[in-house]
Structure 1
Amino acid sequence: MLLTCDPTDTAAGMRLLEDLTTNANQVQQQVLKEILTQNANTEYLKAFLDGHATKNIFKNKVPVVNYEDIVPYIDRIANGEPSDIISAQPITELLTSSGTSGGQPKMMPSTAQELDRKAFFYNILVPVMNTYVEGLDQGKAMYLLFIKPEISTPAGLVARPVLTSYYKSSNFRDRPFNKFNVYTSPDETILCPDSKQSMYCQLLCGLLQRTEVLRVGAVFASAFLRAIKFLENHWRELCLNIRTGQLSDWITDPSCKNAVSLILSKPMPGLADLIEHECSGISWEGIIRKLWPRTKYVEVIVTGSMAQYISTLEFYSGGLPLVSTMYASSECYFGINLKPLCKPRDVSYTLLPNMAYFEFLPVIEDHEEKMQEEVCCNGKSDLESGINEEEWVKSETVDLVNVKVGHYYELVVTTFTGLYRYRVGDILVVTGFHNSAPQFRFVQRRNVVLSIDTDKTSEEDLLNAVTEAKLVIEPLGFLMTEYTSYADTTSIPGHYVLFWELQMRENTDQLPELDPVVMEQCCYRVEESLDSVYRRCRRKDKSIGPLEIRVVKHGTFDALMDFCLSQGSSVNQYKTPRCIKSEEATKVLDSRVVARFFSKNVPSWEPFRIEAKNLLSDRHRAV
Structure 2
Amino acid sequence: MNLSSMLKDLEELTWNAKQIQDNVLEEILRVSSNTEYLGRFLHGSSDKELFKKNVPVVSYDDVKPYIERVANGEPSDVITGALVTHFFLSSGTTGGKQKFFPVNNMFYEKMLFVAALRTSIIYKHIKCVKQGKEMKFLHTRPITTTPSGLPVGPMVASFLLSSYLKNLSSEGYTSPDEVILCPDDKQSMYCHLLCGLVQREEVASVSATFACSLVQAITLLEHHWKELCDNIRSGHVSDWITDPSCRDAVSAILGGPNLELADLIEHECSQETWEGIITRLWPNIKFIQCIVTGQMSQYIPMLEFYSNKLPLISPMYGASEALFGINVDPLCEPQDVAYTFLPNMSYFEFQEEGNNDEIIDLVDVKLGCFYEPLVTNHHGLYRYRMGDILQVTGFYNRSPQFRFVRRKNMVLSVHVETTTEEDVLKALSRATHVIESSGLMLMGFTCYSDISTLPGHYVIYWELKAKNNDVTVKLDDKLMVECCCVMEESFNALYRRLRSKHDSIGALEIRVMQEGTFYSLMEYFISQGASRSQYKTPICISSPHVLAILEEKVISRYFSDKTPPL
TM-score range, shorter chain: 0.7 to 0.9
Check the 8 A contact 2:488/2:496 in 1, yes or no.
no
Does the C-alpha gap of structure 1 residues 111 and 493 become closer, same or farther in structure 2, counting only changes over 3 Å? Answer: farther
1:17 corresponds in structure 2 to 10
Check if 1:190 corresponds to 2:209. Answer: no
Amino acid at match of 2:359: T
1:86 Cα offset (Å): 0.9
Check if 1:63 corresponds to 2:56. Answer: yes
CA-atom RMSD in angstroms:
3.8
Check the 8 A contact 2:33/2:39 in 1, yes or no.
yes
1:173 Cα offset (Å): 2.4
Q: Which residue of 83, 93, 98 maps to 2:91?
A: 98
1:169 Cα offset (Å): 1.4
Aligned equivalents of 2:525 and 2:285: distance in 1?
40
1:155 corresponds in structure 2 to 148
1:404 corresponds in structure 2 to 366
Provide the secondary structure at the position in 2 that maps to 1:340.
Answer: coil
Aligned equivalents of 2:168 and 2:32: distance in 1?
30
Q: Which residue of 30, 45, 51 maps to 1:52?
A: 45
Check if 1:413 corresponds to 2:375. Answer: yes
Check if 1:446 corresponds to 2:446. Answer: no
Aligned equivalents of 2:183 and 2:240: distance in 1?
15
Which contiguous aligned blocks of 4+ residues in structure 1 show a shift greater than 6 angstroms?
Answer: 485-493, 501-504, 559-563, 565-568, 585-588, 593-606
Deviations 1:576-595 (A, max 9, x none): 9xxxxxxxx999644xx799
Check the 8 A contact 1:286/1:318 in 2, yes or no.
yes
1:166 corresponds in structure 2 to 159
Check the 8 A contact 2:414/2:451 in 1, yes or no.
no
1:193 Cα offset (Å): 1.0
1:395 Cα offset (Å): 2.9
1:107 corresponds in structure 2 to 100
Check the 8 A contact 2:316/2:326 in 1, yes or no.
yes
Number of residue pairs matched by the alignment: 485
2:203 corresponds in structure 1 to 213
1:138 Cα offset (Å): 0.7
Deviations 1:331-353 (A, max 9, x none): 01110000000000000000100
1:293 corresponds in structure 2 to 283
Could you state the TM-score of these two structures normalised by the residue count of structure 1? Answer: 0.71
Amino acid at match of 1:31: V
2:342 corresponds in structure 1 to 352
Aligned equivalents of 1:91 and 1:266: distance in 2?
47
1:494 corresponds in structure 2 to 444
Deviations 1:461-480 (A, max 9, x none): xx9xxxxxxxxxxxxxxxxx
Amino acid at match of 1:72: P
Amino acid at match of 1:409: Y
Aligned equivalents of 1:491 and 1:120: distance in 2?
38
* Contiguous gaps of at least 5 residues in structure 1: 1-6, 364-391, 451-457, 464-484, 505-522, 528-551, 577-584, 610-623
Does the C-alpha gap of structure 1 residues 563 and 572 become closer, same or farther in structure 2, counting only changes over 3 Å? Answer: closer
Check the 8 A contact 1:94/1:160 in 2, yes or no.
yes
1:319 Cα offset (Å): 1.5
Aligned equivalents of 2:450 and 2:96: distance in 1?
24
Query: Mapping of 1:568-579 within 5 angstroms?
Result: 569-570=493-494, 574=498
1:160 Cα offset (Å): 1.1
Aligned equivalents of 2:346 and 2:512: distance in 1?
52
1:366 corresponds in structure 2 to none
Check the 8 A contact 2:414/2:449 in 1, yes or no.
no
2:327 corresponds in structure 1 to 337
Aligned equivalents of 1:286 and 1:586: distance in 2?
41
Aligned equivalents of 2:61 and 2:294: distance in 1?
24
Aligned equivalents of 2:453 and 2:361: distance in 1?
53
Aligned equivalents of 1:459 and 1:157: distance in 2?
43
Check the 8 A contact 1:225/1:492 in 2, yes or no.
no
Q: Which residue of 250, 253, 256 maps to 2:243?
A: 253
Does the C-alpha gap of structure 1 residues 500 and 22 become closer, same or farther in structure 2, counting only changes over 3 Å? Answer: closer
1:104 Cα offset (Å): 3.4
Amino acid at match of 1:119: L
1:449 Cα offset (Å): 4.0
Q: Which residue of 224, 246, 264 maps to 1:234?
A: 224
Check the 8 A contact 2:143/2:151 in 1, yes or no.
yes
Provide the secondary structure at the position in 2 that maps to 1:53.
Answer: coil
1:507 corresponds in structure 2 to none
1:136 corresponds in structure 2 to 129
Aligned equivalents of 1:327 and 1:58: distance in 2?
26
Check the 8 A contact 1:100/1:106 in 2, yes or no.
no
Check the 8 A contact 1:229/1:492 in 2, yes or no.
no
1:117 Cα offset (Å): 1.6
Amino acid at match of 1:494: G
* Contiguous gaps of at least 5 residues in structure 2: 419-426, 433-439, 462-476, 531-566
Amino acid at match of 1:291: L
Check the 8 A contact 2:428/2:487 in 1, yes or no.
no
Aligned equivalents of 2:5 and 2:442: distance in 1?
42
Percentage of matched positions with identical amino acids: 47
1:152 Cα offset (Å): 2.2
Amino acid at match of 2:131: Q
